Amino acid sequence: MSARYCVIGNPIAHSKSPQIHAAFAAQTGHDLVYERCLAPLDAFDATVRGLIAQGYCGANVTVPFKLEAAALATRLAPRARAAGAVNTLVFADGEIVGDNTDGAGLVADIVRNAGVSLADKRILLLGAGGAARGALLPLLEQGPRQIVIANRTLATAERLAAGFPAHGGRLAVCGFHGLEGGFDVVVNATSASLAADLPPVPATVFGPGALALDMMYGERPTVFMDFAVRHGARARDGLGMLVEQAAEAFLLWRGVRPDTAALLASLRQA
């Protein structure tokens, strides 16, 4: 019987994950099915327990359940604990293991796909919500010179930075208007793009040859991407991050990391 996986969310109809994992399964020759699972807003735990009872091997978790997934897990990977959020569950040996592959996916897209090393770089992380929390530890592990977290609500950014005391010397927190100097990499992890909004950052944040990555993706470049390009940066959307976080989840479940280049190219064309 095929191994069964799914992505749990609400809403979930828009998810590209079934298409991505079907392509990975075909590429690696793994026999699996991957479906969408719409969980009622008040029944995430019951939905997961139902999947386990049906013999599912694992699941991805998306909006709005990533925090509930972290609370439900019987064991957390260090990067999931650091993020306080889970996007990948592994059901094995009676345990519900929670992991977070979003940050690793972001780093893989920047380093491998965009060809930008993060070592000794100055990084600006816009936003301090779930996506930013997932990104911070994997970004720090790349050895940047400095990461500045800028958020609309300063206290949220301060709380996020306070969770990483060992990295205090390389972490700074700021409001959007207080940003000074240019950065090598600017990551928009706010949800402003969903409303075609732009975080009010000065155009000077884009240093010479900067990479600007918006975690959002869609048919058109986001307002943030347009803004970045107008001010000399190279812009990238979140589609590569999406595919790379899926490849990391596939690795956790199946022990092999699929090649992502061909799939990413075909998704972009589509």
Residue with tokens 């026999």: 31
> What are the helix and strand counts (H, E) for the chain?
10, 12
Of the listed 51, 60, 66, 110, which one is catalytic?
66
Q: Hey, CA dihedral for 259, 264, 266, 267, is it positive or negative?
A: positive
82 is a contact residue toward ligand NDP (CB under 6 A) = no
x/- mask, ligand NDP, residues 238-267, rule CB under 6 A, reads: x--xx--x----------------------
Cα-Cα-Cα-Cα torsion 54, 56, 58, 64, nearest 10 degrees, comes to: -40
Is residue 162 within 8 A of residue 224, CB to CB? The reply is no
Q: What letters, b where the CB count within 10 A reaches 16 and e where it falls short, cover 8-22?
A: bbbebeebebbebbe
Is residue 106 within 8 A of residue 240, CB to CB? The reply is no
Site residues for ligand NDP, 160-199, by CB under 6 A, read 189-194, 197, 199
Q: d(Cα 65, Cα 40) in Å, to the nearest integer?
A: 10
Interacting span for ligand NDP (CB under 6 A) from 27-35, 37-45, 89-97, 145-153: 145-153
Residue with tokens 């069964």: 4
Closest C-alpha to 20, from 218, 237, 264, 254: 264
Shortest CB 244 distance to ligand NDP, Å: 8
Interacting span for ligand NDP (CB under 6 A) from 4-12, 45-53, 74-82, 121-129: 121-129
148 is a contact residue toward ligand NDP (CB under 6 A) = no
Q: Structure tokens of 49?
A: 């327990």
Note if 121 is an active site residue: no
43 is a contact residue toward ligand NDP (CB under 6 A) = no
CA 161 to chain centre: 18
Interacting span for ligand NDP (CB under 6 A) from 5-13, 24-32, 138-146, 235-243: 235-243
Q: 3 or 191: whose CB is closer to ligand NDP? A: 191
Shortest CB 93 distance to ligand NDP, Å: 28
Shortest CB 131 distance to ligand NDP, Å: 3
Binding test (CB under 6 A) with ligand NDP, winner from 23, 25, 59, 128: 128
70 is a contact residue toward ligand NDP (CB under 6 A) = no
Closest C-alpha to 19, from 31, 8, 28, 7: 7
102 is a contact residue toward ligand NDP (CB under 6 A) = yes
∠ CA 56-76-67 to the nearest 5 degrees?
80
What element of type H or E holds 259?
none
Binding test (CB under 6 A) with ligand NDP, winner from 9, 58, 98, 130: 130
152 is a contact residue toward ligand NDP (CB under 6 A) = yes
Binding test (CB under 6 A) with ligand NDP, winner from 153, 168, 265, 268: 153
| Residues assigned a catalytic role | 66
Sites of contact with ligand NDP (CB under 6 A): 102, 127-132, 151-153, 156, 189-194, 197, 199, 215-217, 238, 241-242, 245
